[in-house]
Structure 1
Amino acid sequence: MTAAKSKQKKSIWKRSLDARTALLYLLPSIILFSVFVFYPMFRTIYLSFFLTNQAGEAAVFVGLENYAYLLESSAFLNSIKATFLFVLYTVPTGIIIALGLALLANEKLKGIGFFRTIYASTMGVSVAASSVVWLFLFHPSIGMFNKVLAILNLPQVEWLLDPTWALLSVSLTTIWLNTGFCFLILLGGLQNIDEHLYESARIDGASYWYRLRRITIPMLSPTLFFIITISLINAFQTFGQVDILTKGGPSQSTNLIVYSIYREAFVNYQFGTASAQAVFLFVCILIVTILQFKLGEKKVHYQ
């Protein structure tokens, strides 16, 4: 009995030592996450219940009034609408284009490496640089798009100045910017699919579209699930191209939630309501991600 107790104590001591060792290795990551993730998150939640001064310090406790104000604000409701439209425009279109390019680049053709480099090249372009390029392309008088429309005898379009076209223009810029990353990940997923599956399908006389539907998409589903999740989160957090191209205008048509948070905090110095918007955005992303895992993961094939 004594030997059994001694053995149990040694086992407990060993597990405790392993836990302390693991904690020691994790300590740098815990410190970094605490400083740059957990503290800002809890600070934001805290400030969302206060009116703040221009230094961003809590001044007057107002409870849920900041949230009530947002739900009654037409500008914030418009930001929600613009954000969800932006996500709808960019995520499905960007993934479909990237998938099409990845399928083309996965073919064993001479010189295909050059096209793979071109398709993935947008990964090396910063948001600021790409937005400036697109700013010239959208220019109403010297922009390439309007020059093409003039050649075709079509009416000119105020791409970034017309509320009807502004959000679509920013969405087009975002799709182009994100295509490289999505393409590269999807191409890696395609190249990991066992070639023997395709050989067996060809022997059975399966067409290209049948192989795509029955082999490629199911085997690529884990990669697609990852890309869809990441793209959704990134779309909700878009800021740079909106700031450079439209600054939320015209008529608030491109005033996405992240840009609305920026304006509320660093232009209007209303850190309380800005924090409430940030919390709302966090909840939206959390709900979308949970739904993605609950509904989308059922169709993922890991074997």
Structure 2
Amino acid sequence: MRRCAMPAPSRIRRFSACHAAVVEHTMNLLPAKPYASTHALWRRGRRRELATAVVMLAPSLLFLCAFTYWPILRSVVYGLFDVQLGSPEIYFVGLENYVRLWHDALFWKSLRNTVVYMVVTVPTSITLALMLAVALDRGLRGTALYRSAFFYPVMIPSVAAGMVWVFLYAPGYGPINSLMGFLGLPKLEWLYDPRWALPAIIFMSVWKYAGYFMLILLAALQLVPRDLYEAARLDGVSGFRQLLHITVPLISPTLYFVVVIGVLHSYQIFDYVFVMTQGGPADATNVLTFYIYQNAFQFRDIGSASAIANILLLVVGGLIGIVALTLGRRVHYMGR
């Protein structure tokens, strides 16, 4: 009863004093360092993530800079100098290397051979790859066996493949000429005739890369919804029109990728020419990459070789730009 008789204001003051003491004691137990703001914590986390990303990417970036960007930069610089292999003397000549190439008939012939190789090889390889991919996508028996058989040439090293085709093209005892003689056709000196040397290398390249493109296109075909084909068949649409109006638009991103890869591969041809023809006969198979090798290591002219490499870089970049402007705009992405 006495405890209840305490005036209300006194109880309130006593409670407030106790509460203040508890709060003060609790604050004294907390660390002196204040809490960081949410924004500061977010920035700290972002910096930590950025540092981790830089550490993880550093080896790849160093490798890329050392073996891609630095050689390109040196090639651009050497194209303006007279640089001889094995000689410490370097002379600035400006655009003289490019002017000399402008009047070099062999340079223009190698450029023409490279363009012909690209124009024939890329469409032929992609068309054949698409036909094979569509055939395998129909669910034929032994699809896994056919897929492995078509992809097998890709796994053969380029030098080994070139040596195999040198044997196949051999004029006297080669299997191809033996088959042509059995069929009553005239035998050809494939790698020794200027008219047939480049087509022989083109045929071998199509055999080498069609399986690689086929595997990529087959993966894209398996993502196309099957109900679209069922609806088209119910409407009486032919198989060719299904391919033209359903398949090609839906796999157009993959086709675009394959075209870009094919263009890049066509301008990197060197090993087949080196192993099979050495640029002959009569420079009929001399392409830009092999002409770069000749200037650098046979003629020992690093300046001219660098100038040719720079021109090749511009040509490839221009072609990729044309492909992006023409085919890139026609690409249809599902879901957009």
TM-score bucket (shorter structure): over 0.9
Q: Distance in 2 between matches of 1:12 and 1:196?
A: 49
SS at match of 2:126: helix
Task: Indicate the residue corresponding to 2:28 in structure 1.
Answer: none
Tell whether the 8 Å contact from 1:163 to 1:250 is kept in structure 2 after alignment. yes
Q: What's the TM-score once normalised by structure 2's chain length?
A: 0.84
CA distance in 2, matches of 1:27, 1:57: 33
2:201 pairs with 160, 167, 170, which one? 170
Measure the CA separation in 2 of the matches of 1:100 and 1:58: 56
Residues 86, 56 of structure 1: CA spacing in aligned structure 2 closer, same or farther, 3 A cutoff?
A: farther
Which residue of 1 is the match for residue 5 of structure 2? none
In the other structure, the counterpart of 1:89 is 120
1:64 aligns with 2:95: yes
Q: Deviation at 1:157?
A: 1.1
SS at match of 2:195: helix
Deviation at 1:230, TM superposition (A): 0.3
User: For residue 3 of structure 1, what is the aligned residue in structure 2?
Assistant: none
The partner residue of 2:321 within 286, 290, 293 is 290
Equivalent residues of 2:84, 2:303 under 8 A apart: no
TM, length-normalised to structure 1: 0.93
Of 161, 168, 176, the match for 1:137? 168
Alpha-carbon distance between aligned partners in 2 of 1:146 and 1:19, rounded to the nearest angstrom: 62
Which structure 1 residue ranges, 5 or more long, are not aligned?
Answer: 1-5
Displacement after TM superposition at 1:75 (Å):
0.6
1:34 Cα offset (Å): 1.1
Q: Which moved more, 1:146-155 or 1:63-72?
A: 146-155
Residue in structure 2 matched with residue 41 of structure 1 by the alignment? 72
1:126 to 145, 157, 161: 157
Hey, what's the Cα distance between the residues in 2 that align with 1:71 and 1:166? Answer: 26
CA distance, structure 2, for counterparts of residue 72 and residue 147 of structure 1 = 43
Deviations 1:236-255 (A, max 9, x none): 11011111110000111100
Count of residues paired in the alignment? 298
Note the C-alpha offset of 1:220: 1.2
Match of 2:185 among 154, 158, 164: 154
Say what the alpha-carbon RMSD is for the aligned residues: 1.7
Cα pair 1:56 1:271 within 8 Å, conserved: no
Q: Which amino acid aligns with 1:120?
A: F
Give distance in 2, aligned partners of 1:67 and 1:119: 43
Task: Give the direction of change, closer, same or farther, for the CA distance of 1:58–1:296 in structure 2 (3 Å limit).
Answer: farther
Deviation string 1:87-145 (CA, Å, 9 cap, x unpaired) is: 11211111111111111111112222211211111121111111111101111111122
Q: Residue 178 of structure 2 aligns to which amino acid in structure 1?
A: K
Indicate conservation of the 8 Å contact 1:189/1:220, yes or no: yes
Deviations 1:208-240 (A, max 9, x none): 112111111111111111111000110011011
Corresponding residue SS for 1:95: helix
Equivalent residue letter for 1:253: A
Residues 50 and 58 of structure 1 are in contact (CA less than 8 Å); yes or no, is this contact kept in structure 2? no
Q: Does 1:110 align with 2:141?
A: yes
Indicate which of 287, 298, 305 corresponds to 1:256.
287
Contact 1:91/1:235, CA 8 A, preserved across alignment: yes
1:182 aligns with 2:213: yes
Distance apart, 1:22 and its partner CA: 3.0
Q: Does 1:78 align with 2:106?
A: no
Q: Find the aligned partners of 2:117 and 2:92 in 1 and give their Cα distance.
A: 34
The answer to whether residue 246 in structure 2 is matched with residue 215 in structure 1 is: yes
Pick from 223, 228, 236 the counterpart of residue 197 of structure 1: 228
Looking at structure 2, the residues matched to 190 and 65 of structure 1 have their Cα atoms a distance apart, in angstroms, of: 51
Q: Distance in 2 between matches of 1:11 and 1:137?
A: 66
| Contact 2:82 2:303 (8 Å CA) reproduced | yes
In 2 relative to 1, CA 104–57 (structure 1 residues): closer, same or farther, beyond 3 Å? farther
Pick which of 166-175 and 11-20 moved more. Answer: 11-20
Give the deviation of 1:9 after TM superposition.
Answer: 6.6
Q: Which residue of 2 aligns with 1:54?
A: 85
**Whole-angstrom CA distance in 2 between matches of 1:185 and 1:92:** 15
| Distance (whole Å) between structure 1 residues aligned to residue 177 and residue 228 of structure 2 | 48
Distance 1:11 1:98 in 2: 50
Q: Quick one: distance in 2 between partners of 1:189 and 1:254?
A: 35
Secondary structure of the corresponding residue to residue 60 of structure 1: strand
The 1:191/1:250 distance shift into structure 2, 3 A limit, reads same
What is residue 230 of structure 1 aligned with on the other side?
A: 261
Identical-pair percentage: 34
After TM superposition, the structure 1 = structure 2 runs for residues 269-288 of structure 1, keeping only pairs within 5 Å, are: 269-288=300-319
